[in-house]
Amino acid sequence: MRKFESVATASRPIPLSFILLAAVGVHLPLLLMQLPLKSYDTNFHIFFASHYVHHWFNPWNAKWFAGFSQTTYPPLPQQWVAIVSWVLGLNMAYMAVQFAAILLLVVGVYRFSMLWVSPRAASFAALASVLLSSECFLVYSAGQLSTTAAAPIYLNALPYFYDWIRYGKWRSFLKAVVLFTAAAAAHHATLIFGSMLFALPVIVLALMDRKDDENSSASALVMRTVMIVLLVGAAIAVVLLPFWIGLIRYPITQTPIPHPSRANYILSPQWGVNYFIVPYGALILALPFIILRGAKVVRLRPLLLGFWVTFMIGLGGTTPVARVLLGRAFEVLTFERFSYWATLLALPILGLLVAELVDRFRMRAIVPLTLLASLSCALAVAWSTFRPADAANFKVDSVAQWLNRDGHDNYRYITLGFGNKLSRLAIMTDASSVDGESNSSRMLPELTRYGGAALTSAKYFAKPGLDSLRAMLAHSDRYGLKWVIVRDPYYEPLLYFAGWRKVDELDDKTITVWGKDGVPPATPMNASQMPPHWQGVMWGTLPFGSSLLAILVVLIPEKRRRGWQDEDPSTTPEDLNSGRMIS
């Protein structure tokens, strides 16, 4: 009797509440220390959120690019940061929204894994997501809030998507539609690329499971799939209508900007470490098992195929796969997000491996697995220290104060050598710039013609970056550009020979301000790109409203599914961990 109880206990899943507590224990202290502020894109998202704080129904932002529309970037995470900032302030609001996304990921991984493996294996997959190195890399080094917010919502939507196309449950249909729409409002790249990579294996799984049900026909499944795809597509088209209008009217035609995630990781091993070793971590050791078990178990083959395609795309320019499948989009996208999606698709099979090892070896497996996962997480968290977004840790308060006084904000400015502090400065000043960090939002020809990114980091893009900077300096009169704020002496000879002169020094002469005589005050630019009022109302209402509706709809109770406890008592842990569906 005791032996039977021991086997039954070993085959039970880890409670989801315990896994969520583990996520709180790991990530809450790191977020309270505001570690994501050291990452590449965190200040960018906070800058967008700061605009929504003051101009919720007006997406036109005059602080970058002589004016641009924030409808070029889906707003949901930034709008939540703006709302929460009324209580916590912008920095801590960002941490709170990111923390919510981490908890959503735990729940989403568990529910998504339940489609493929036993509840016990799914619980181990969810626990692994707490220490997932790709998640830690995006949160603490890359700062990609939109990516880490959208993916968990999709993972939570997919089980409802399966229940609808497999069983025709209308409650699941409603929940899937609303969650898919909310996820689309969080990130456009995840919508356009990631959603297909996650959804197609689930559709194939539903078709495979149909064979076990005599009352379910393939035509019914196909019709339900087409129905939900069309409705979700229509909902997304409406909720993000200003985004689609802007994309059609002003398609991205700028010269491609190089990015190291597109490199060949074999020929450029430093980028291989950054975009492969760090995001995958100890999961690299499990790749043989993931491939072999995914190929062996028929049920897991659609998941394996989705993982493999995403994995190959995530290698960037290391193989020709990404370039062939994506075409011109290869030159626009960055590929760390594909590695992130690949690890999420791998987690259910990884959960099988962990469950089998723990059931067989107990503490001899738990200790090394925990150590490997912890080291992977620690490396990804610490990576922003090893490879910081900006090696110089400095404040921009004095620069903001200078721009905000004596009428200096009547003219536009650019910074040189400020890195991602460009966004932080824009939050603190009323002055407008012709530079910015949102590559897809740029319309000025001096910025789109040459293949450089932000002017503040022009030297890192070699000739294209410096050519873009020279062109902007030459046309300073056109944009009311009177101030160049320099923290890197590298640029000073260029400014001197272009006719600029030093007018002030800040922060113990570590920052210099250069000016140009005869520049007229800045005037509004790009008026034709300014969204009309009705688009501003839609942008401030529908994306955020979709998230509120998703919260309400998900609270509608579902009928309880039978778990492994309700199965045949003769079922063994090995059967439960074999990869078959528990329905």
- Name the strand (E) or helix (H) holding 102: helix 90-113
Question: Quick one: pLDDT band at residue 214, thresholds 50, 70, 90?
Answer: low
CB distance 471 to 446 below 8 Å: yes
Question: Per residue, what are the HEC states of 373-385?
Answer: HHHHHHHHHHHHH
CB distance 27 to 63 below 8 Å: no
Token pair for residue 176?
A: 């899937």
Cα(581)–Cα(211) distance, integer angstroms: 13
CA atoms within 13 A on the CB side of 504: 14
CB distance 133 to 380 below 8 Å: yes
In this predicted structure, the answer to whether residue 429 has a pLDDT above a threshold of 80 is yes
Cα(420)–Cα(436) distance, integer angstroms: 9
Question: Quick one: pLDDT band at residue 274, thresholds 50, 70, 90?
Answer: very high
Interval 225-237 mean pLDDT: 96
Cα(320)–Cα(538) distance, integer angstroms: 41
Cα(470)–Cα(481) distance, integer angstroms: 13
Collapsing DSSP states into helix, strand and coil, what is residue 433? strand
Nearest to 393 by CA among 510, 267, 565, 478: 510
Question: Quick one: pLDDT band at residue 574, thresholds 50, 70, 90?
Answer: very low
* Burial group, residue 354, by CB count within 10 angstroms (0-12, 13-18, 19+): buried
The pLDDT tens digits of the residues spanning 468-511 come to 999 999 999 999 999 999 999 999 999 999 999 999 999 888 99
Look at the chain and count its residues. 583
Token pair for residue 217?
A: 């026909």
β-strands 412-416, 60-61: how paired?
unpaired
Collapsing DSSP states into helix, strand and coil, what is residue 465? helix
Token pair for residue 63?
A: 């602080």
Token pair for residue 162?
A: 């399966």
The pLDDT tens digits of the residues spanning 432-460 come to 999 999 988 888 999 999 988 899 999 99
Sign of CA dihedral 128, 129, 131, 134: positive
Question: Quick one: pLDDT band at residue 559, thresholds 50, 70, 90?
Answer: low
- The DSSP output letter for 529 is G
Q: What is the pLDDT of residue 557?
A: 82
Q: What is the pLDDT of residue 255?
A: 87
The pLDDT tens digits of the residues spanning 174-199 come to 999 999 999 999 999 999 999 999 99
Cα(342)–Cα(388) distance, integer angstroms: 25
Cα(52)–Cα(61) distance, integer angstroms: 10
- Name the strand (E) or helix (H) holding 483: strand 481-486
In this predicted structure, the answer to whether residue 369 has a pLDDT above a threshold of 70 is yes
In this predicted structure, the answer to whether residue 387 has a pLDDT above a threshold of 90 is no
The gap between the terminal CA atoms of the chain, to the nearest Å, is 28
In this predicted structure, the answer to whether residue 580 has a pLDDT above a threshold of 60 is no
Cα(313)–Cα(336) distance, integer angstroms: 10
Cα(475)–Cα(387) distance, integer angstroms: 35
- The DSSP output letter for 253 is -
Question: Quick one: pLDDT band at residue 215, thresholds 50, 70, 90?
Answer: low
- The DSSP output letter for 498 is T
Question: Quick one: pLDDT band at residue 555, thresholds 50, 70, 90?
Answer: confident
Q: Within a 10 A sphere around the Cβ of 368, how many other Cβ atoms?
A: 13
Predicted TM-score (pTM) of the model is: 0.93
446, 78, 430, 432: CA torsion to nearest 10: 10
Cα(210)–Cα(522) distance, integer angstroms: 65
Q: What is the pLDDT of residue 568?
A: 36
Interval 346-373 mean pLDDT: 96
- Name the strand (E) or helix (H) holding 343: helix 336-361
